Amino acid sequence: MYRAHQRGDITPIRDDRGPVVREIAIPQTFLKETEVDRLVDDYLAGFTVRALAQKYEIHRGTVSKHLTRRGVVRRTPGLDIDDAAEAVQLHRGGSSMRAISRTLGVDRKVVRASLVRAGILSAA
């Protein structure tokens, strides 16, 4: 999407000590207002910050700053209440954490943290 924004082959300014201005390896990407609108809509539709950073080719911190500037309430990491209840139910039914994580589409660490919060597993 933004690969066209490449720096030209401009010789950097030099003095006796070396380059005066460091070379920029990766150019900055500035999103237009319409792109930020789409980014916010995508986040509200369920995209993760990491997925948005990859999609728009910007840093995760930049995604977070755009969301904060727009007043978007950030999702807390981990499972929501319904998914956590489902994880507990599946665990009590004998499913492994790997099976639960695949069912819910999250990492096993997220499932384990949810089961610890529910008091099913010990934190140690």
Query: What is the per-residue pLDDT across 58-85, written as a single tens digit (0 to 9) for each?
Result: 999 999 999 999 999 988 777 888 999 9
| Other Cβ atoms within 10 Å of 113 Cβ, number | 19
Residue 112 identity:
R
Which pair of structure tokens corresponds to residue 112? 């384990």
Mean pLDDT score across all residues of the chain: 85
Q: Are 123 and 116 in contact (CB under 8 A)?
A: yes
| Other Cβ atoms within 10 Å of 58 Cβ, number | 20
What pLDDT does residue 121 have? 85
| Other Cβ atoms within 10 Å of 110 Cβ, number | 20
Distance of CA 49 to the CA centre of its chain: 3
